[in-house]
C-alpha cells in the first residue's frame, strides 16, 4: 500500500510528458553516448561519472523549463558543426586550429574567441534595449524589452557555444593541455555572464515581467567590460596548460557550483537595487549608492597604493579614478531618474520574494562548493582548510548570506534593510572573487590582475 502511494506521483509526472519531452530526452542520451564513445579514452572514472550524472540532470531541467530544451539542442548542434569544421584540416596531433579558423564560420562565429566576442556584443545590446524600455512610450516599452530578452538568449547561446568549443580546442593543442574551461579569470567570467543571465531569464518568465532585465544585465555588462579589458591587457583568451593544483576532477564540480552561487547573489543584488530605487529615500540613496562606495574604494586604493608613487602606479590610479567616477555618475543618474526607472517594476512583495529565492539558491550551491573545495584542498595540499586569503573571504561570504537567511527565516527580515544587506553582499562577494586576486596572494592565486 505504501509503495503504491509512493510511486503514484512519479508515475503521474512521467505520464505528463509529451512526445517532445521524450524526443528531447532521447537526443540528450544520444549526445551523451556520442561524447562517451568518442572521448572516453580521455576521461577518468570520475569524469565518466560526471557525464553520466549530467545527462539525467539536463533532461530533468529541460522538462522543468521548456526553453532550456531549445537552447540545449541549438548549442549542441552549433558545437558539433564547429567540431566538424575544425576536423576538416588536421595536423600531427589533432585538428589544425590555425588552419580551421580560416574557415568563414569558424573565423567569424563559431571558434571560441569569436563566439565569446558575439556573447559580449549581444549581452551589451541586451542591456541597452532593456534600459531603452524605460525611456520609450508605454506601448513601445514592451517591444524594446522583448528585443532585449531575445538578445540575452542569444548571448547565452553564444557563450555556451564558445565554452564548449574552447573545451574542444584545448584538447587539440596537446595531450596534457585539454581541460574544462573554468580554470582562469577569462573562462570563469564567461561562466558568470551566461549563468547570471540564464537565472534572470528563468525568473523573467516565472514572474512574467521584463522590467528587471535592465538591472540584471547591468552587472552582466560590467562583467563583459572586465572580460574585454582583461583580454586586451593580458591576452587572457589564449588557452594555457593547467597548473598542477588545478589538474583535478574536483575543479569540474567545485567551480561551476561556486558560480551558481555568484550568479544568484548578483541577481539578488540587482533586484535589491531595483527595490531600493523604488522605496528608499533620496538622501539614503545618495549616501548608500554614491558617497559610500566611492569612499570605500578610495580607502582601499589608498591602503594598497599609498606608499607607491611610481609613474606606473599613478597611471593605474588615474584609470581607477575614471572607473570610480563613471560608476558614481551612473548611480547619480539612476537616483535622479528613479521615478521613470521604477514605474513598471513588480510589486515590492514580488521583488522581496525574488531576492530571497535568489539568495537561498546561491547559498545552497555556495555551501556545496565550499565543501567540495575543502575536499579538493585536502587532495592538493594535504589539508581541508589553511586560512588562505581566498578561503577566508569565501567563509566571510558564506557567513554573510547565512546571517541574511537566518534573519529572514527567524526574525522576519524584509524590506529596505534586507535590500541594503543584499546589495552590500555583492560587494563582499566581488572582493572575495576579484579583490583577493588584486590585493592579496595565496594558494588560490591563479588569475592575478
Residues 80, 219, single domain; the answer is yes
Residues 44, 162, single domain; the answer is no
The answer, yes or no, to whether residue 9 has pLDDT greater than 60, is no
Residues 30, 109, single domain; the answer is no
pTM over 0.85: yes
Domain end marker among 210, 227, 244:
227
| Residue 88: all three cell numbers together | 576538416
- Residue of 446, 427, 444 lying closest to 392 (CA atoms): 444
The 10s digit of each residue's pLDDT in 55-94 is: 999 999 999 999 999 999 999 999 999 988 888 887 777 7
**DSSP H or E run through 248:** none
Distance between CA 269 and CA 157 in Å, rounded? Answer: 24
Q: What is the mean pLDDT of residues 165-192?
A: 86
Q: Which tops the pLDDT comparison, 412 or 315?
A: 412
Residues 130, 179, single domain; the answer is yes
Is residue 190 a part of any domain in this protein?
Answer: yes
Is residue 156 a part of any domain in this protein?
Answer: yes
For the chain, give the mean pLDDT: 83
Domain end marker among 205, 227, 249:
227
Is residue 26 a part of any domain in this protein?
Answer: yes
pLDDT at 6: 44
Residues 38, 172, single domain; the answer is no
The 10s digit of each residue's pLDDT in 366-388 is: 999 999 988 888 887 777 777 78
Residues 83, 215, single domain; the answer is yes
The answer, yes or no, to whether residue 322 has pLDDT greater than 90, is no
> What is the secondary structure of 50-85 as a DSSP string?
HHHHHHHHHHHHHHHSTHHHHHHHHHHHHHHHHHHH
The 10s digit of each residue's pLDDT in 230-254 is: 888 777 788 888 777 777 778 888 8
The answer, yes or no, to whether residue 347 has pLDDT greater than 50, is yes
Containing structural domain, residue 114:
75-227
pLDDT at 421: 93
Phi, psi dihedral angles at 412 (to 5 degrees): 75, 30
Amino acid at each position: 500500500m505504501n509503495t503504491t502511494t509512493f510511486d503514484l506521483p512519479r508515475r503521474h509526472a512521467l505520464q505528463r510528458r509529451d512526445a517532445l519531452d521524450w524526443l528531447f530526452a532521447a537526443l540528450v542520451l544520444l549526445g551523451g553516448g556520442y561524447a562517451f564513445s568518442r572521448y572516453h579514452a580521455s576521461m577518468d572514472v570520475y569524469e565518466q561519472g560526471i557525464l553520466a550524472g549530467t545527462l539525467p540532470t539536463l533532461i530533468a531541467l529541460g522538462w522543468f523549463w521548456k526553453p532550456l530544451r531549445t537552447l540545449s539542442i541549438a548549442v549542441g548542434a552549433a558545437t558539433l558543426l564547429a567540431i566538424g569544421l575544425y576536423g576538416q584540416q588536421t595536423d600531427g596531433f589533432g585538428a589544425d586550429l590555425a588552419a580551421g579558423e580560416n574557415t568563414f564560420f569558424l573565423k567569424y562565429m563559431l571558434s571560441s574567441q569569436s563566439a565569446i566576442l558575439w556573447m559580449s556584443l549581444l549581452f551589451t545590446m541586451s542591456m541597452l534595449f532593456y534600459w531603452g524600455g524605460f525611456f520609450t512610450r508605454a506601448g513601445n516599452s514592451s517591444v524594446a524589452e522583448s528585443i532585449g530578452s531575445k538578445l540575452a538568449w542569444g548571448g547565452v547561446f553564444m557563450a555556451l557555444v564558445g565554452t564548449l568549443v574552447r573545451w574542444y580546442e584545448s584538447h587539440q593543442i596537446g595531450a596534457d593541455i585539454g581541460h574544462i574551461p573554468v580554470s582562469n579569470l577569462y573562462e570563469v567570467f564567461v561562466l558568470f555572464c551566461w549563468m547570471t543571465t540564464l537565472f534572470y531569464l528563468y525568473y523573467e518568465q516565472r514572474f512574467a515581467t521584463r522590467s528587471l532585465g535592465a538591472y540584471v544585465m547591468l552587472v552582466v555588462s560590467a562583467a563583459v567590460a572586465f572580460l574585454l579589458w582583461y583580454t586586451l591587457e593580458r591576452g587572457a583568451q589564449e588557452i594555457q596548460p593547467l597548473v598542477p593544483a588545478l589538474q583535478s576532477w574536483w575543479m569540474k564540480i567545485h567551480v561551476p557550483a561556486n558560480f551558481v552561487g555568484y550568479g544568484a547573489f548578483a541577481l539578488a543584488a540587482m533586484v535589491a537595487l531595483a527595490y531600493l530605487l523604488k522605496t528608499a529615500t533620496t538622501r539614503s540613496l545618495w549616501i548608500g549608492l554614491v558617497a559610500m562606495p566611492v569612499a570605500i574604494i578610495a580607502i582601499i586604493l589608498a591602503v594598497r597604493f599609498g606608499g607607491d608613487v611610481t609613474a606606473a602606479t599613478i597611471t593605474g590610479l588615474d584609470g581607477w579614478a575614471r572607473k570610480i567616477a563613471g560608476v558614481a555618475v551612473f548611480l547619480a543618474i539612476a537616483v535622479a531618474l528613479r521615478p521613470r526607472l521604477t514605474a513598471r517594476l513588480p510589486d515590492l512583495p514580488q521583488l522581496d520574494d525574488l531576492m530571497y529565492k535568489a539568495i537561498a539558491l546561491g547559498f545552497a550551491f555556495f555551501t556545496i562548493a565550499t565543501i567540495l573545495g575543502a575536499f579538493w584542498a585536502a587532495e592538493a595540499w594535504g589539508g581541508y582548510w589553511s586560512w588562505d586569503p581566498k578561503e577566508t573571504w569565501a567563509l566571510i561570504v558564506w557567513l554573510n548570506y547565512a546571517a541574511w537567511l537566518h534573519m529572514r527565516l527567524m526574525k522576519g527580515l524584509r524590506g529596505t534593510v534586507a535590500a541594503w544587506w543584499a546589495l552590500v553582499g555583492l560587494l563582499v562577494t566581488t572582493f572575495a572573487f576579484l579583490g583577493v586576486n588584486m590585493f592579496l596572494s595565496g594558494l588560490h592565486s591563479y588569475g592575478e590582475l
